[in-house]
Each structure stands twice: as C-alpha cells, then as structure tokens.
Amino acid sequence: MSFVLNMLNGGVQELLNYLSAHVITCLVPAFFIAGAMAVLVTKGAVIKYFGVQAKRWVAYGVASVSGMLLAVCSCTVLPLFAGIYNLGAGLGPAITFLYSGPAINILAISLTGAAIGWQMGVARGVGAILFSIVIGIIMSVLFRKEESKRLGEIEHLPEENSEKPGAFLVLFFGVMVAVLIVSTSKLTPWIKIAIDISLINSLAIMVHHYFVKGEFESWMSETWSLVKIVVPTLLIGVFVVGMVTAVIPPEWISRYVGDNTLGANLAASLVGALFYFSTLTEVPIVKGLMDLGMNEGPALALLLAGPAVSIPNLLVVNQIMGLKRTAAYFVLVVLMATLTGWMYGLFLI
C-alpha cells in the first residue's frame, strides 16, 4: 500500500513541479511563437532552398535550422523529408532536416531550458544543428554512387497568407522571443511584468498594422491546436515519470549512467534511439533520470538521440529510402549522440 502511495505522491509532486511558474512562463510564450511560425512563415519561401537547383551548402544550412520554423511534430517532418529526398536537394539535406527538425523546435528547446537548465537547452540546440549537418554529409558521401532517381520537381502552389517583409518577421519574432526571455529571467516580478506589458503592447500594434484579415484568428487557433496536441501527453508523461522515479532505487541509475563514460553515453543514446518519446516528453524523462543521478553527458546523449529517431519513425523512413540507408542513419545517430554527450560531459561542465 505504501508503495502505491509513494508512487502516486511522486507523480503528483512532479506534476506540481512542472506547473510551477518558471515552466509555465516559458511554455506559454513558446506556444504563441510556434503558432505564429506555422501561420506567418510561408512554407514555399523555405522550401525553395531545398530544390534541385539550390546550392549544396545553402540546402544543408537551411535544412539544419528550418526545423525551428516548420516542424513541431514528426507528422510535418516526414512528408518534408520524403519531399527533399525524392523531389529536391537529395539524401544529404533530407537527412539533415529529418534529424534536426524535431530536435530544435522552439518548444523543445525552451522546455529543456526551463526544466533542466539553460546550459542543457543551448547544448541541445547547438548540438542538434551541428550534428545534423555532419550526419547529412556523411550519409551523402556514403551513398554518393547510388543517389536515387528523382521523381520530379516540387510543385509550387500559391499560399493563402500575405507574405510579410523579412524585416517585419525578424522584429515580430524577436519581440516574442524577448517576452520569453524576460518572463523566464531572474528579474524582480514587477519589472518583468512591466517589460512584458510594453512588449506585448508593441506586438499588438504590429498585429493591428500588418496582419490581414483572418491571420490573427489563424494564429490563435494554431496556437490552441498545438496546446491541445502537446499538453495532455506532456502532463501524462510528467506524471508517469514522477511515479516511476519515486520507486526506482537511485543506485540502478547511477550504476549504469551515473558517470560520463563512453559506455554510459552509448547506453543512453541507444535507449533514446529505440524508444518513442511523444513530443516533449523526452524532457521530463531526462529530468527524472538526472534527479536520480544520471550524468550530464549521457543526459545530453539521450536528448540528442531521443526525439529524432524511434522505431515507428524508422519504419516510415525505411519505406522512403530503403533498409541500407535507414540502418546507416540509425548507426550514425547513435554513434554521434554518444560522442557528443561524452565530449559535453568531459569538457563543458
């Protein structure tokens, strides 16, 4: 009986931890940013850099960061991946996009920062971008002789929303990121509120002058639909992690992944690569493991290998590019996550 109570108590404690001010003040602005990106960033503008004619290095560069703009869940990532592979710039940039997409979206990075620590959030973001380019290039070198035949060119369709000037988008998203940073900073509460109110006012002015009819509504409905997709599974994930970590003896964790050894990093990246983490639940899982004594290196390895690769995702990727390339991708992700985690644990802490 006390075992069950202990578990439930752990789950509730962990939930309360996530419902605390610092996580909510970070997640709420992040949801609005992600929603605005889905509505305002015209996909056509990004996709043209993935075309057959695009310069190689441009395609890699755009693929490594565009996940931030385009992708929140793997259901947008996979069609784009298949598209880049079959219709556009080919295997290398497609792999770069496939890897970085789910790892660097704004929600994942800000939640990692708020729940685990900003150093880990930054390490995850920077690690994922570099790592995705390296994996993409290695894949395209490995399979350079057998690039598949392209199915054709991408079809360009007119977009519904008015295209905004680049300077406006930079300013608009810059102000929203400023809200996120101010809200999560350590300033005294009334200063925070004062700065936030003025920033939000300037957003309102921008919306009033630059948005065409219907865009504000689509922004809000996009934000709400993201909340509906992400929050329930995240809360369930947090609760389950809290229950499980309440009853696992810490020695188990510290024995396997307590030190920053290559073996511990390999174990962490294998676990990350095989299991499916629903959007953002990787963060409470890693946080729970770290509370039980997991070292920072393996924690980063798990975060790097986790969201990008999982068995269901590999099955779809396998349909698109075949077993040989999928296996090579899997091995590369595990090896690179192991090495990056190990180096992070070794040099940066």
Partner 1 sequence: MKIEVLGTGCPKCKQLEKDVYNALAELDVAADVSKVKDMKKIMSYKVMTTPALVIDGQVKISGRMPRKEELHQYIRESE
Question: Which residues here bind partner 1, judged by CB under 8 A?
Answer: 43, 47, 50, 73, 75-76, 78-80, 82-84, 86-88, 151-155, 157, 159-160, 214, 225, 229, 316, 319-320
183 CB-near residues (< 8 Å, 6+ apart) = 25, 26, 28, 29, 192, 196
- Nearest Cα neighbor of 266 from 334, 332, 327, 346 is 334
DSSP reduced 3-state for 299: helix
Would you state the structure tokens that stand for residue 13, as one six-digit string? 């404690």
Measured from the CB atom, the residue of 11 and 88 that comes closer to partner 1 is 88
Quote the CA–CA distance of 180 and 29 in Å, as a whole number. Answer: 5
Measured from the CB atom, the residue of 123 and 280 that comes closer to partner 1 is 280
Q: In this structure, is the dihedral angle defined by the CA atoms of residues 220, 223, 229 and 232, taken in order, positive or negative?
A: negative
Judge whether 119 and 292 are in contact, CB under 8 Å: no
DSSP reduced 3-state for 214: coil
Which residue in this structure is represented by tokens 């395209």? 140
Quote the CA–CA distance of 112 and 280 in Å, as a whole number. Answer: 9
Measured from the CB atom, the residue of 209 and 213 that comes closer to partner 1 is 213
Measured from the CB atom, the residue of 142 and 154 that comes closer to partner 1 is 154
Distance in angstroms between the alpha carbons of the first and the last residue of the chain: 41
Give, in degrees to the nearest 5, the angle at Cα 231 between 226 and 235: 165
Which residue in this structure is represented by tokens 């703009």? 69
Q: Least separation, in Å, of the C-beta of 225 and partner 1?
A: 7
Q: Least separation, in Å, of the C-beta of 47 and partner 1?
A: 6
Q: Least separation, in Å, of the C-beta of 344 and partner 1?
A: 33
Measured from the CB atom, the residue of 211 and 342 that comes closer to partner 1 is 211
Q: Least separation, in Å, of the C-beta of 88 and partner 1?
A: 7
Measured from the CB atom, the residue of 14 and 215 that comes closer to partner 1 is 215
Q: Least separation, in Å, of the C-beta of 345 and partner 1?
A: 36
Q: Least separation, in Å, of the C-beta of 87 and partner 1?
A: 6
